[in-house]
Amino acid sequence: MSPGTQYTPYHPKWYRSRMSVWWWLQNRSYVYFVLRELTSVFVGLCALLLLWHLRALVQGPEAHAYFLAQMRRPFFVALNGVGLLFILFHTITWFNLTPKAMVVRVGGKRVPDWTIAGLNYVAWVLLSVAVAVVLLRG
Amino acid sequence: MRPITPFLWTLFGAGGTIAALLFPIHLFLSGLAFPLGALEAPSYDVLYGLVRHPVTRLYLLVVITLPLFHWAHRFRYTLYDVLQLKHLYRLIAVLCYSAALLGSAVAAYTVWRIP
Amino acid sequence: MPPSVTLAVTRYRPEQESEPTLQTYEVPFRKDWVVLDALNYIKDNLDGSLSFRWSCRMGVCGSCGMMVNGSPKLTCAAFLSDYLPGPVRVEPLQHFPVIRDLVGDITDFMQKLKRVKPWIIREQEKPLVEGEYLQTPDQLEMYKQFSMCINCMLCYSACPVYGLEQSFIGPAAIALAQRYNLDSRDEAARERLEILSEHDGMWQCTFVGECSKVCPKNVDPAGAIQQLKLVGAVDWFRFLLPWGTR
């Protein structure tokens, strides 16, 4: 192959297919991936919920009572229930994927993935207990 | 100007970690257990007392703003890849991060102005 | 055990058709046969016009990658018995333009591979009299997994980001960049990081993870990419350090 030769990237006779809009329904891994990405919607909604609660709290007891009453409505109970499922899905997938990005080496050997993930789960439990204690005992 | 993507990815990562660690318990308590009466909700005075503390204010600011940026970054790529809207690349990026910035601004203002 | 199995194989002859079609062949079933054996049976006995790539037939050359029942596989490693009762659909590797039948064009990958400079780069080469570059087993272990890539491109077929946007640099190229970045003999990690941080570089990856699933050599390109993202992110903040921009 002489040094001046260039491959032709475009060739009219080569067949090129377009990816379907439904590509993600092709196999289970892809569906799982899209569900995982959709957890971000519920993460955003939960952040907004916290913001709403905070604003209601700051605006006074009546505003706060109104917020609590809203949370008792079936629509919000359902939304929060579904949201909790998606957020738990986020938590589990996030912790299981963290070791892929965070490679820690101790004494020249790589710390196994389950240790990194496990430490995250432990932190999750401890922090959840701390938040619950603060909110339940005031 | 260096590409800003690594910075946005860091926000995505930080927000995702915070959401993973803290959102399950917050959503469970404030979204389900307290409204449905399964657990005794803290009184208005107790909550208000907590919120006035500077540490709580900082905590709330962090747990609201960073997950909003996590949503913005992840949702942006979901729109590109799942709905194949890559031709609206710039518009989607601007809309997502603006929305996150707006939410963060409201949160910052609220936290700053707690009497 | 059935006496034969049906293969539905993509045929695309650009001189006579504008779209690929599926042609069926009846191939004898042998329990130790792989899809590649079936394709070679077709070519030797049924239809000599069928075109496909293959070489080592033992999973080290990376030539025989094709879609088998919709999944990217090395046809030399896909046993017919796993696809019973059939039919077994054999198509060219997804996301690559099809030249003819089962043969795809892979120049895109070749160009991307060159872009990441997959060779040892040193500021100063050691003179020959000083001997070879020494490396401990621990230093080898740091990058060994990523060096197992056989350039079979199954990962590009599995990656929906590449499928949607052909300019994406892709899993194997990034994994190979990381292989050299982690090599103790190499000194060009920063250079490669900058190449990978370009617009269609590693930041387009959304960690679908399918690339690592289909990799026949357990290279785990998805892991390599996330590691590089973390390095890239930390590096982005280096201007905050008082000891400067190095």
Last residue of a domain, one of C104, C119, C139: C104
Minimum-distance CB partner of B31 among A65, A83, A120: A83
Residues C73 and C115 in one domain: no
- pLDDT tens digit sequence for A19-72: 888 999 989 999 999 999 999 999 999 999 999 999 999 999 999 999 999 999
**Distance between CA atoms of C4 and C28, rounded to whole angstroms?**
4
Calculate mean pLDDT across residues C242-246.
Answer: 58
pTM, 2 dp: 0.92
**Number of compact structural domains in chain B:** 1
Mutate to test the interface with B, among C205, C208, C229, C234 (most CBs of B within 10 A): C229
- A81 lies within 8 A of chain B by CB: yes
Domain interval for residue C28: 4-104
Mutate to test the interface with B, among C167, C226, C236, C238 (most CBs of B within 10 A): C236
Terminal Cα distance for chain A, rounded: 78
Residues 6+ apart with CB under 8 A from C21: C10, C11, C12
- pLDDT tens digit sequence for A70-125: 999 999 999 999 999 999 999 999 999 999 999 988 887 889 999 999 999 999 99
Is A19 close to C223, i.e. CB distance below 8 A? no
Residues C74 and C150 in one domain: no
Residues C58 and C136 in one domain: no
Q: Is residue C161 part of a domain?
A: yes
Calculate mean pLDDT across residues B19-23.
Answer: 97
- pLDDT tens digit sequence for C123-181: 998 999 999 999 999 999 999 999 999 999 999 999 999 999 999 999 999 999 999 99
Minimum-distance CB partner of B47 among A57, A71, A94: A57
Q: Is residue C209 part of a domain?
A: yes
- pLDDT tens digit sequence for C52-68: 999 999 999 999 999 99
**H helical segments located in C62-153:** 107-115, 137-144
**Residues in C touching B6 (Cβ below 8 Å):** 197, 203, 229, 232-233, 235-236
Minimum-distance CB partner of C213 among A19, A29, A102: A29
- pLDDT tens digit sequence for C205-238: 999 999 999 999 999 999 999 999 999 999 999 8
Two tokens, residue B35: 């409204």
Q: What is the pLDDT of residue A9?
A: 60
Query: Angle CA(C192)–CA(C193)–CA(C198) in degrees, nearest 5?
Result: 100
CA distance A109 to chain B (A): 25
Q: What is the pLDDT of residue C244?
A: 54
Amino acid at A38: L
Give the rounded percent of residues in chain B with a pLDDT score beyond 70: 99
All partners of chain A with 3 or more CB pairs under 8 angstroms: B, C
Minimum-distance CB partner of A87 among B27, B51, B77: B27
Domain interval for residue B105: 5-112
Residues C113 and C233 in one domain: yes
Residues C116 and C42 in one domain: no
**Distance between CA atoms of C66 and C184, rounded to whole angstroms?**
35
**Number of compact structural domains in chain C:** 2
Q: What is the pLDDT of residue A25?
A: 92
Compute CA A40 distance to the chain's CA centroid, rounded to the nearest angstrom.
5
Residues C44 and C140 in one domain: no
Tokens 């280096």 appear where?
Answer: C238
Query: Angle CA(C22)–CA(C26)–CA(C30) in degrees, nearest 5?
Result: 125
Give the rounded percent of residues in chain A with a pLDDT score beyond 90: 75
- Going by pLDDT thresholds of 50, 70 and 90, the confidence category of residue C42 is very high
**Residues in B touching C238 (Cβ below 8 Å):** none
Reported as type and span, the H/E element at residue C100 is strand C98-100
Q: What is the pLDDT of residue C160?
A: 95
Residue in chain C closest to B6 (alpha carbons) equals C233
Residue B62 maps to which CATH number?
1.20.1300.10
The β-bridge partners of C66 are C73
Asked if residue A115 lies in contact with residue A129, where contact means CB atoms within 8 angstroms, the answer is: no
Counted across chains A and B, CB pairs separated by less than 8 A come out at 160
Q: Is there a cis peptide before residue C87, judged by omega within 30 degrees of 0? A: yes
Q: What is the pLDDT of residue C143?
A: 96
Terminal Cα distance for chain C, rounded: 65
Residues C78 and C134 in one domain: no
ipTM: 0.93
Tokens 């540490």 appear where?
Answer: B55
CA distance B12 to chain A (A): 10
- Going by pLDDT thresholds of 50, 70 and 90, the confidence category of residue B3 is confident
Compute CA C124 distance to the chain's CA centroid, rounded to the nearest angstrom.
32
All partners of chain C with 3 or more CB pairs under 8 angstroms: A, B
Asked if residue C174 lies in contact with residue C196, where contact means CB atoms within 8 angstroms, the answer is: yes
**Distance between CA atoms of B95 and B24, rounded to whole angstroms?**
27
Rg (CA), chain C: 21
Two tokens, residue C169: 């640099």
Q: What is the pLDDT of residue B71?
A: 97
Domain boundaries, given as residue ranges, for chain A: 102-138
- C235 lies within 8 A of chain B by CB: yes
- C206 lies within 8 A of chain B by CB: yes
- pLDDT tens digit sequence for C77-105: 999 999 998 899 999 999 999 999 999 99
Residue in chain C closest to A32 (alpha carbons) equals C208
Encode burial over C54-86: b for 16+ CB neighbours within 10 A, e otherwise: beebeeebbbbbbbbbebbbbbbbbebeebeeb
Mutate to test the interface with C, among B81, B86, B88 (most CBs of C within 10 A): B81
